[in-house]
Every structure is written in C-alpha cells, then in structure tokens.
Structure 1
Amino acid sequence: MVSEREVLVAAAVVVFALISQSEGIIGGREVVPHSRPYMASIQKPEGETMKHECGGFVIADQWVMTAVHCMPTGPEGRRVVLGLHSLSEDEETKQTFDILELHNHPDFNPLNYDNDIALIKLDHPFNSSVAVRAVEYLRSGGTNPTTNEEVETAGWGSYDNLGSRPDKLKEVVIEMVSSNRCRRSDYFGRKFTGNMMCAHKVCDGDDCEVKNEDSCDGDSGGPLIYKGVAVGITSNGGKKCGQLKKPGVYTIISHYTPWIVGLAGVPDSVEDQST
C-alpha cells in the first residue's frame, strides 16, 4: 500500500516537473554584469519604492526605445534606470532619469499590439560608460533574421508562469519562427501582422538538452538582438510563456525608420547592419 507521504512526494515531483517545463527569462542565464550596456529598466512607483515593470534599450543620446503597451496612458511617475545589473543592489554604475517625453506610436492597436513601439526622451543625456551605451538598431532596407536563425533577448522579466522575477539581468538565445506559422489559426491567426516577427526555443522531445526558452512578463520593451543589432522589440505572446504554439512576438523595428528618425534625429542612411 502506498503511504500518504509517498503520495505527497509524488505530487510534489509532478508539480516541479510542470513548473520546470516553463522555466526561464523563460530559460536562459544571468548575463555577465554590464555586458548589455544598452538595457534599460522602466520602473513604476509602488509605495515609497520603484518597481521594475518593463524593459527598454538605449538607441541614441537621451533616447530609449520600448513598447507602447508598457505605458499606454503616459509615464505616470515612471522612471528609467540605466547601467544596472541588479534591480536591488546599490550599483555605482546606475543612472536614473525622469521621462521628459513619451512618444507612443499613433497607430498602436491595443487589440493585437500592432505597431507596439514607443520612444522615451530622458530628462537629461546619459553619461556614456562601460555600463551605459547605445545599441545599433536596424533601419529600412536592412536584413532581418529568417526562420531558425538564432537571436538574443534579455530582461528582468518572469522566469516562470507563476510570475517569479529575477533580481539580476538574464539573457536567452532563441530561434526565429516562420511568420507563416505564426499566422496560422492555431498560433496567432489574424492578430499576427506584417509588423511582427516571432521567436522562441521549444523542447519537443524527452531528451532535450535545453527546456523551453522564451521572453515573458516584464521583458516587454526589451530588444531582440541579431548579430549585435536590435531588430525587434519584445511585445507579447501567449497567456503563458514558453508554449509550443505561442512564441514570443516582437515588433519589427526597421518598419519604423522614418518615425524614429523624425523624433530622435538618428541618421537613417546606414549600410546593411546585419552583415
């Protein structure tokens, strides 16, 4: 006869197995501190403290790119922190900014997150250092990654579907998923538009070396990096992260070059940056 203790142990093992299947930024690893100096933490007031809400990334002097759905109704007291690795530790590299201007794309659609791109103008220029530096972003005419190519993303977002958050920045290498696949009715259907790309890494077998890997809640607004260049903005996905048919969805940055240049004044005539 099976004892009550054995039943409880077996149940605990099952629960752990279910959670570990969705482990992550989902998955991934802690970054080498300040190895991604373009990363930004957008933080909202919570009582007397500030709490990480979304990611972002520096694209030019005084300008940070993020997602509209992070601040759809305005800054509302939020601040931007650059040069950080740990959210909680007192790091000398940290630089904190108020939001001078927030420019949400005027065609953002809250029903499917189309045109999910926003620009933040910081209240003063950042001090460039080994911990704070802009990343190049792909302009019109550049080459975006194709199906099965590896891309990278990073953030302080949830590492499981229970909402657990890391204190230190994590990164993950994932793979591009075919846009045609993401348009299928069993994936995102008509909600998936031509301004979006999708990516994740999913374990389909019993002997996978790596479990499911994906971006998750709290990673929104962060960059999708391809060969050192930001090509996408973490936007949305399924209600749960790391699901087979709900890859992470990313806004295609190169579709918005005139809008970005018009606001941030960043030159738009560059060589193909993907090579």
Structure 2
Amino acid sequence: MVAGRDADISDWPGMASVQTVSGGTIYHECGATMIAPEWALTAAHCVENVRIESNGRAAQYLEGDNGQMTRFGTLAVAAGLGDLTTIPKGSVYAVREVVIHPAYQAGVPEKGSDLALLRIAGRWDGPLMPLDGVTGTAGNLLQPYADILAAGYGKLGEAAQGQEGVARGGRHVRAPSLILQEGYVPAVETGVCNSQIRARINEAGLAAVYPDIAIDPDTQICAGIGGSDACQGDSGGPLVFRHAPGQPVQAGIVSWGMGCARAESPGVYMRVSAFAPWISAVTGISQSAQPVVSEDISVLPSEQADILPQEEAPEETETHTEETSLEAGEELPSELDPTSSPDETTQDTGN
C-alpha cells in the first residue's frame, strides 16, 4: 500500500500472505483472505503458473529468456500476520488445491475473472473474512463518506525497495512491506474510471496493445483517486466496506492498474458479489447474505506505467504445496523441499 499506515491485524479477519518458500527464504508474492477454514481467496494471476506435481504437491514455474519454465519453490499461505517475520504456530499452511475461475484468461487479468481459490492442507482456526453476497453484505461503495479500505504487504511506493527480515528459526523473509499496511481508497464511478484508465493508456503509448479495455461494473470495481493506493505485492488482497471498526466485508480483490497512487488512475478490483455463486459452488460455503445490487465502482492501480497485475514481480516465483500446517521456524519436510526434483512440465506465465 502506498501512503497507507500500519494495520491492526484484528481489523482484518482472515488476512493472508501467499508465499513462495525457496531454499532458506520465504518470499511474499500476493495477498489473500481466509474465507473458510480450508479456503483462501486470491487473484488468479498470482497462481496461474502453478503446477501440481506427480507427488501431489504444487510448484510454481518461471519462464526464462529461452522460453523454458523453471521450478522456483513451494507455495504456502500464511494467515493472520501483522508482521511477516512474526509467525505464530499454526499460521502457515501448504496448499493442496488451486481452482482458478474458468473464465480467467492467463496473462491478461485486465480481461476480468481474475480470482482463484486455494485449498489449504489442514484447517485455519482463526477469524474469517466475510464476503459480500456470500457471508456478508457490503454497503454502497459510492455513497458519500463510505468507509472503503484496502490492505496488503505490497510496495510502499512505485519505486520503493523491498524489505527483508529474519523469522524465528533463521529463515529469511522478503516482501515489499514486512508490516501489513492499510489505506483508504475511495470508489470511482465506472464511467469516470473507464475514461481515466483510457487516458492513462493513451499517455503511455499503449493504445494499440490495449485497444478494448473497459471496466465491467457488474464484475469489477474501481477505486483510488491518487494518494493512498494498492501497489505490486497487494494483488489478491481485500478491498473492504467497513460498517464499523472491526466489521469489514470484502467487496473486492486487488487485480490490476496503471501505476500506484497516481492521480486519475484508479485501480481495478474484482467484484466479489458477482462471483458469489462460483465461490459457494467450489468451497461449499452457503450464501447466507445478499449483496447490495447496482453499485457502479472500480478499484486499485499497479506499479508501472504499463498495465500490470499488482502482485510482487519476483525474480523468484510462487508455488503451492499439499501438506499440513507448517510450524513457525521449523525445517520444511523433504516433500516440500524446493530443491527436490520437479516434473519437467510447463505452464503459461501471466506476466
């Protein structure tokens, strides 16, 4: 988050970090939210390179200059952390299933349907994030003085350097921000958002590359008027409507944008309520709430002048694993050792 503030993790139930474990280092890749004891919600572009290997474990691959895909490491979900270097017992879980929305097009999150569900190995017993249209109801994001915030461990500025710390047990942790940040991001009406994003695309000389980008108010949200904003590393994290302190409902998922915190350059989020039936069908969570219908909104920007998803673009990648929860600071079981030999399979990359 750019121009945000240190967040109190108790204000963000189910807040999670999608991480790659590679060698002795943990890399934060994207945000997520725990929405059920076994399920996390994130952006599809954060996990589109994931492969389930022959041992039933998932691994992330990176595409090299020669077009070859190389295995980077294993994936874990760390939930309930205000500080990524302070890892309580039972807060880090391997991933045993990745379900990307069937309408998502790999490599083009701006086309929409940029969401995925991660099934963890084990059960998260901490608080869960209420979802608009599924287990909660958000208010009208465009109403005056609406309390709309985003949170994540992403970059603190477009040109900001990443941070590094050491967790208990000696494992290094790298992230754009080691401390969870939150910031206010006012919603932007879709017509205004479309006009502003088109202007930013034209200014960047990308009109031929992105000739038909248009925000769909039924499935996407725009937010951010400059100042506080999401940035790379915040992808997959929540945009919430807060009814009162400590009472958020997740209305959006950080997806993509043009730059970070630039004036008249809103970011784009996936609208959670539009995908409520799919989320319920995959996870088994019953829809116990109805979304507020007819909201014209759109949300968060990314880190470069080009259109980029707001994940941290690593020199290192993401991965997933099918394993029980990992003890803080413990050595990875050999099955999760990122140096173990992977299958020589490949997958399209999203960046």
Verify same fold: TM over 0.5. yes
Structure 1 counterpart of 2:260, which letter? C
CA–CA distance in structure 2, aligned partners of residues 273 and 114 of structure 1:
20
Question: Could you tell me which residue of structure 2 aligns to residue 87 of structure 1?
Answer: 84
Contact 1:156 1:169 in 2 (8 A): yes
List runs of 5+ in structure 1 lacking aligned partners. 1-24, 203-211
Relative distance call for 1:34 and 1:147 in structure 2 (3 A) is closer
The yes-or-no answer on 1:223 pairing with 2:238 is yes
CA–CA distance in structure 2, aligned partners of residues 167 and 35 of structure 1:
17
Q: Which residue, out of 127, 133, 151, partners 2:127?
A: 133
Relative distance call for 1:157 and 1:268 in structure 2 (3 A) is same
The yes-or-no answer on 1:186 pairing with 2:199 is yes
Aligned counterparts, 1:7-86, within 5 A: 25-74=1-50, 75-76=58-59, 77-86=74-83
List runs of 5+ in structure 2 lacking aligned partners. 51-57, 60-73, 162-175, 202-210, 243-247, 294-351
State the shift of 1:59 in Å. 0.9
- For residues 27-83 of structure 1, the C-alpha deviation after alignment (integer angstroms, 9 at most, x for no partner) is 110012443231000001333221101000011121110000101122522100112
CA–CA distance in structure 1, aligned partners of residues 220 and 292 of structure 2:
19
CA–CA distance in structure 1, aligned partners of residues 111 and 152 of structure 2:
20
CA–CA distance in structure 2, aligned partners of residues 152 and 93 of structure 1:
28
CA–CA distance in structure 2, aligned partners of residues 34 and 147 of structure 1:
26
CA–CA distance in structure 2, aligned partners of residues 265 and 243 of structure 1:
39
Structure 1 counterpart of 2:224, which letter? H
Q: Which residue, out of 155, 159, 163, partners 2:156?
A: 159
Contact 2:139 2:241 in 1 (8 A): no
CA–CA distance in structure 1, aligned partners of residues 102 and 118 of structure 2:
14
Question: Could you tell me which residue of structure 2 aligns to residue 22 of structure 1?
Answer: none
Q: Output the TM-score relative to the length of structure 1.
A: 0.78
Q: Identity over the aligned pairs, expressed in percent?
A: 28
Contact 2:78 2:91 in 1 (8 A): yes
State the shift of 1:87 in Å. 1.2
CA–CA distance in structure 1, aligned partners of residues 253 and 153 of structure 2:
15
State the shift of 1:273 in Å. 7.2
Q: Which has the higher contact order (CA 8 A, sep 6+)?
A: 2
Structure 1 counterpart of 2:252, which letter? G
CA–CA distance in structure 1, aligned partners of residues 200 and 191 of structure 2:
10
CA–CA distance in structure 2, aligned partners of residues 56 and 32 of structure 1:
16
State the shift of 1:201 in Å. 3.6
Question: Could you tell me which residue of structure 2 aligns to residue 172 of structure 1?
Answer: 183
Structure 2 counterpart of 1:176, which letter? A
CA–CA distance in structure 2, aligned partners of residues 38 and 144 of structure 1:
23
Structure 1 counterpart of 2:229, which letter? D
